[in-house]
Amino acid sequence: MNNLKNIQNFYFVGIGGIGMSALARYFNLEGKSVFGYDKTPSEITDALIKEGIQIQFEEDISLIPKSIRNNENTLVVFTPAIPESNKILSWFTSENYWLLKRAAVLGEISKNAMCLAVAGTHGKTTTSAILGHLLAECNMPVTAFLGGVTENYNSNLIYKGSEIMVVEADEFDRSFLQLKPTIACITSMDADHLDIYSDASDLENTFIEFSKLLPNSKNLLFKKGLPLKGNTVSVTETADFQAQNIRIDNGSYVFDLKTPSKIIENLRFHLPGRHNMFNAVTALGMAILAGSPTDCLPKALQNFKGVKRRFSYKIKTENLILIDDYAHHPTEIEAVYQAVTEMYPNKKKLIVFQPHLFSRTRDFVSEFAKSLSKFDEIILLDIYPAREESIEGVTSNWLLNTIKNEHKKLVSKNELSAEIEASKCIVKIMAGAGDIGVEVDKVTKYLLNEN
Reported as a single tens digit per residue, the pLDDT across 107-135 is 899 988 999 999 998 889 999 999 999 99
Last residue of a domain, one of 280, 302, 324: 302
* Same domain flag for 258 and 392: no
* Residue 286, SS3 per DSSP: helix
* Same domain flag for 240 and 273: yes
Amino acid identity for residue 428 in this structure? K
- Please tell me the pTM assigned to this model: 0.84
Among 123-137, 162-176, 237-251, whose mean pLDDT is lowest?
162-176
Last residue of a domain, one of 279, 302, 325: 302
* Same domain flag for 342 and 228: no
Pick the closest to residue 208 from 195, 226, 224 (CA basis).
226
Residue 117, in any domain of the structure: yes
* Same domain flag for 330 and 219: no
* Same domain flag for 120 and 213: yes
Q: How many CB atoms lie within 10 A of CB 240?
A: 17
> Residue 191 — pLDDT band, cuts 50, 70, 90?
low
Residue 373, in any domain of the structure: yes
Determine the Cα angle at 120 with ends 119 and 122, to 5°.
130
Residue-range definition of the domain harbouring residue 383: 312-447
**Are the C-beta atoms of 154 and 175 separated by less than 8 Å?**
no
CATH assignment of the domain containing 391? 3.90.190.20
Enclosing H/E stretch for 169: strand 164-169
pLDDT given at position 451: 61
CB burial string 15-32: b at 16+ within 10 A, e below: bbbbbbbbbbbbbbeeeb
Q: Give dist(CA 202, CA 189) in Å, integer.
A: 11
Instruction: List alpha helices for 344-385, DSSP H.
Output: 358-363, 365-372
Last residue of a domain, one of 283, 302, 321: 302
* Same domain flag for 223 and 245: yes
Residue 177, in any domain of the structure: yes
Determine the Cα angle at 50 with ends 30 and 58, to 5°.
100
Residue 307, in any domain of the structure: no
Q: Specify the number of domains making up the chain.
A: 3
* Same domain flag for 273 and 322: no
CATH assignment of the domain containing 139? 3.40.1190.10
pLDDT given at position 105: 94
* Same domain flag for 276 and 135: yes
**How far out from the chain centre does Cα 398 lie?**
28
CATH assignment of the domain containing 61? 3.40.50.720
Reported as a single tens digit per residue, the pLDDT across 368-415 is 999 999 999 999 999 999 878 999 999 999 999 999 999 999 999 999
Reported as a single tens digit per residue, the pLDDT across 340-356 is 998 898 999 999 999 99
* Same domain flag for 224 and 284: yes
Residue 105, in any domain of the structure: no
* Same domain flag for 363 and 442: yes
Q: How many CB atoms lie within 10 A of CB 94?
A: 8
What rounded mean pLDDT belongs to the chain?
Answer: 92
pLDDT given at position 76: 96
* Same domain flag for 335 and 297: no
Residue 106, in any domain of the structure: no
Reported as a single tens digit per residue, the pLDDT across 34-80 is 999 998 898 899 999 999 999 999 999 999 999 898 778 999 999 87
* Residue 410, SS3 per DSSP: strand
* Same domain flag for 148 and 31: no
Residue 337, in any domain of the structure: yes
Determine the Cα angle at 307 with ends 414 and 321, to 5°.
50
